[in-house]
Chains A and B, each alone.
Chain A
Amino acid sequence: MMRSAALSAGGNSRGLQRLPSGWAIVGALTSLIILVPIGAVCVYLFTPASENWSHLVDTVLPEYIRNSLWLTVGVALGAGSIGVTTAWLTSMYRFPGRDLLTWLLLLPLAMPAYIIAYTYTGMLDVSGPLQGWIRRAFGLSYGEYWFPEVRSLGGAIVMFSLVLYPYVYLLARAAFIGQSVCVLEVSRTLGCSPWKSFSKVAVPLARPAIVAGLSLALMETLADFGTVQYFGVSTFTTGIYRTWFGMFDAVAAAQLSAVLLIFVFALILLERWSRRRAHFHHTTNRYQRLPDIRLSRGWSALAFIACLLPLLFGFIIPTVQLVIWALETYDTMVDRRFVTLAWHSFALAAGAAMVALVPALILGYGNRIHPSRAMRFFSRLSSMGYAIPGTVIAVGILIPFGALDNALNHWTREYFDMGVGLVFSGTVFVLLFAYTVRFLAISLQTVEAGLEKVKPSMDDAARSMGSNRAAVLRDIHLPILRGSLLTAMVIVFVDVMKELPATLILRPFDFNTLAVRAYELASDERLADSSTAALAIVAVGIIPVILLSGAISRSRAGTRPI
C-alpha cells in the first residue's frame, strides 16, 4: 500500500495541510524509538567481518539464500492464489454457504504456523496414522510406496500458505468490495468475459491491497523460526540463530540479518518497479450494491469447494487433530494455572493491539499531512520489524533497556547507596514495546489503507460547514476509519496471541502465556500434551476474528459506516 498512501498524501492532502507542523517531529521521534531495537543490533554491522563470515559464505550461505528465496516465492504463489481467489469469489458471487464461508475463511489466521506444522507432521509423518494405515492395508513397508515428506521445503511452503493466506484474503476482499461497480460494469459492457474483467480490471485495481497482504505474509514467513527449524529447512532465520548463539558471533549474525533486510527491500523495490507509473484512482463516487452474481448449480459447487478447501486444510483438519489429542490429555493439562495463562495471553494481546495503534496513527497521519521522502522512508523502515526474527528484536530490546537499567542503578548507588534492580527490563512494559516494534507493520498498513478512504474533499466540506479540526477528526475520520482500526487491532491481537520468541526471552518472572506453554510441551516432544494450550490459542484468537469479519463487510465505501 506504500505507493498509494504516498500518492494520496502527495496529491490530495490540501485540506489537512495546515495541521500542526509539530506532527512531523512527533512522527520522526516515534520512528526513531521504534527503530532503537533494530539499530541496537545493526551497530554490529560496523565492526569488521570476522573469519566466521567467510566460513558462512563458503558453506551454508548459498543454501540459506536458496531456501529463503524458494520459500518466499512458494508462499507468495500459494498464499496469493488462495487469498485472491477466495476473496474474489466471496465478494462477487452468490452461492450456498457464501456468507458463512466469508468469515470462516479468516479462521486459519488464529492458527500459529508452528502448531499447524506439528499437527500435520503428527498425521502425515512416516510413523503417523495415514502412512501406518497405508502400510497395514497394502502390506507394504516403508520405501515401497511414494509419499511426500512433510518435513521439507515444500511442506513448509504449504504450511505457511495455509495459515498466512488470510492476510491476502482480508485485504484483497476489502479492496474488491471497495471497488466501484461502475468500473467492472464498464469492463463487461466493453466485452470482457468475467475472467477478463477479473484479471484485467479487478486484480490490477486491487493490486496495492494484494501486495500489502502478500508482504505481510512474506515478512512473517521470513521471520519464522519454529517451523523451519522443526522441518530442518535452513533459512536466514535459523542461520542467524545458529551463528549468533552457536558460534557466539553477534557480528556475523547481524550481517546475516542485514542480508535478510536487503532481501526484503529488494522484494518491495521489485514490486514497485513492476508497477512503475501505473496508478489507479477511483474517479467516481458512485457506489452501489455489489452485483452479487448468482451462479449456476455446477459453478456454485465449484466456488463452494474452492472456498472450503483452504478452510478445511488450514483450520478444520488441524483443529480436529488438536481436539483428538486434547481429549486424551486435557485432564492433566487444565488446572487453575491454565486460566491464568489464558488471561495473560488475552491481556497482553489486547494491550498490544491498542498500544501498536498509537505509532501507526502518528505515522499514518504524518505521511498524509507532511509527505516527504524522509517521513516515508522512516515509516517504511519502522515496519521492518515484522520481517526480523523475534529473537533478534528481543535481543535488540534487551540491549537499550538493560543499559538504561544499569545506568539507573549506578546512579542510585552513587546517591542513595543502593541499587534498585531492574526497572524496565523483565516487565510487561518491555513486552508491549517489543510487540509494537514487531507488529507495527500490520497496524500501519491497515491504518494507511483506511486513511485512503478519507477523501480530502470530505474534510473541505466539513470545514466549510464550520466544523473545527477536532470535529472533523471526531465526526468524519473516526467513523470512516473505525473499520480499519478494528482490523488493525484484531490482527495484532491474534499475532500477539501466537507470538513466541520475544515473549519467551522478555517476559517477567512467573509469567507464562498459552503460546509459551504450548511451545514448552511441543518442544519437549509432547505434542499431545501441548494440544490443549494450542487449542486455547486458537479459541481465544477466533473471537476477535469473528468480530472483524462483521466489521469488514459493513465497512464498504458508499455504505453507511458502522
Chain B
Amino acid sequence: MKPNSSRIPLASLALALASMIVGSAPVVAEDVVNIYSARKEALILPLLQRFEADTGIGFRLVTGKADGLLKRIEIEGEATPADIFITVDAGRLQRAKSAGILQSIRNPVLNETIPLHLRDKDSQWFGLSRRARVIFYARDRVDPEELSTYEALADEKWRGRLCIRSSGNIYNQSLVASMIRHLGEERTEQWARGLVANLARKPGGGDTDQLHAVAAGQCDLTLVNTYYFGRLLNSDKEKDRAAAEKIGVFWPNQDGRGAHVNVSGAGITRHARNRAAAEALLEFLVTPESQGWYAEVSNEYPVVPVAPISDTLRRLGEFKADTLNLTFLGENNKAALQLMDRAGWR
C-alpha cells in the first residue's frame, strides 16, 4: 500500500463517522416517543410504524437486552431520553419499578382495558401481551392422562424424560418465582430438585431446541412458552411442521390455579419528556387491532379479553390461566434464582 493511496478514503470515513456522531446527538422534539425495547426489532417495529401512520407521532427505537437497557436508563438518570421501557417479561418490569426508573400512570383507557392482575398495582407498568409457559409432550410416548400439574413433573416416573432450558432464562425464573408464591420456598425447592433429577440432558439451548429435542426423542416432556410452538406449527419449513405434529400441548393445573402466564409489557420512565406521546403509544398497543396483531404475528395471547384471537391460538385451545398478580414474579426473582442454584438447576 502506498502511503498516499489511503488518505482520501480515510478522510471520507472520518467525515462519515463525524456525521454519525453529530447525527446521533439527542434531540428533544415535540411529537416523538423515545423507546428502549427488549422486544426484538422485528416484533415491535411494524406496530410502531402503524402507530406513526395513525397518530402522526414519530418514534426512535433502541433494542437490546432488558437488563442492559434497564441499567442504561438507571445510569442516564434525569437526562435519559427514554420515554418508554418495553420488556418481554413481568420480572424485568418489576425490576425496573424497584430500580425507581418508572412512574405511575393514571390513564383511564389502560386501567379499564387491561385486567388488574396483568398490570402493576401502582400502575407503573402494563402487560401488553400474554404468553403461557406450559407442558409439551411427545404424543407417541406420553399419554396426556398421565399429566396433571407443574408439581407432578417432579414425580419419579419422569426420571430421565424431561428437557428444559437453563436457569439463566427469565421465563424459568418467573415460573419458579410464581411457584414460590403458591407453594412456599421449601416445597418449591423440593420440586426443583425433583425436576433436575428427571432431566434427560443438561439444561441448555432455547425453547425451540427443547421442542425439537422432544420431537427427536431425546426427551418426552418439556416446559416451553406457547408462541414457540405456534411458530413451529406455522413454519415454512417442512421439518419444523413435522416436529410440531409429534408434539402435544398440555395445560397444567387446570383444576387448580391455572397455567403459568407471563406478559410482555411496558412502563413510562420516571423522567420521560414526552409523556403524552408515550401514553398514546400504550393506548395504541391495547387497541383490538394491535392486540390482534400480537396474536396473528407472534402467536401471543391478547391481554384484552375481547380481542380477536388467531387460528393458531384457537388450535391450542382454551385454558385457565393463573391470575396471580405478576408483581410477585419480579419480587421473588432473586429467591427463585438462588433456589435454582441450590437445586443444581444450571
Contacts and interface: CB of A to CB of B under 8 A. Distances in A.
Interface of A: 52, 55, 59-60, 63, 121, 125-127, 131-132, 135, 141-143, 149, 151-152, 229-234, 238, 241-242, 244-248, 328, 344, 347, 350-351, 354, 391, 394-395, 398-399, 402, 405-406, 408-409, 419, 421-423, 425-429, 432, 482, 486, 501, 504-512, 516-517, 520-521, 523-525, 528, 551, 562
Nearest to A509: B60
B34 A351 contact: no
A59 B42 contact: no
28 contacts: A63-B346, A121-B209, A126-B216, A127-B216, A131-B216, A151-B204, A229-B168, A230-B206, A233-B204, A234-B346, A246-B333, A248-B98, A347-B13, A398-B75, A402-B77, A405-B76, A405-B79, A406-B79, A419-B78, A421-B26, A482-B1, A486-B1, A504-B68, A509-B61, A509-B62, A512-B41, A520-B42, A523-B206
Contacts of B166: 229, 232
B17 to A, nearest CB: 5
Contact of B65 (A234, A504, A509, A528): A504
B337 A126 contact: no
B182 interface: no
Given A151-B202, A347-B17, 6 more contacts: A398-B71, A422-B81, A505-B68, A510-B62, A521-B40, A521-B42
Given A59-B342, A232-B205, A246 B13 contact: no
B341 A55 contact: yes
Contact of A509 (B34, B40, B79, B215): B34
B337 A247 contact: yes
Contacts of A143: 217-218
B56 interface: no
A486 B1 CA distance: 10
Given A127-B243, A421-B26, A509-B24, A152 B202 contact: yes
Contact of A520 (B40, B80, B207, B228): B40
Contact of A127 (B21, B28, B215): B215
A421 B28 contact: yes
Contact of B95 (A248, A399, A520): A248
B103 interface: no
B25 A427 contact: yes
A505 B72 contact: yes
A242 B337 contact: yes
Residue from B27, B40, B61, B243 with most neighbouring chain A CB atoms (10 Å): B40
B43 A524 contact: yes
B204 A232 contact: yes
B183 interface: no
A428 B337 contact: no
B269 to A, nearest CB: 13
Contacts of A432: 17
B334 A427 contact: no
B201 interface: yes
B208 A232 contact: no
A131 B204 CA distance: 18
Interface in B292-346: 333-334, 337-338, 341-342, 346
Nearest to B207: A525
Contacts of B98: 248
A125 B209 contact: yes
Contacts of A132: 216
Given A126-B213, A131-B216, A509-B81, A246 B75 contact: no
A127 B75 contact: no
Q: Which 10 A-B pairs have the closest CB atoms?
A: A232-B204, A127-B212, A245-B67, A508-B24, A142-B217, A509-B60, A402-B75, A505-B68, A525-B208, A59-B341
A127 B213 CA distance: 6
A504 B67 CA distance: 11
Contacts of A394: 68
A238 B24 CA distance: 32
B184 interface: no
A59 B76 CA distance: 34
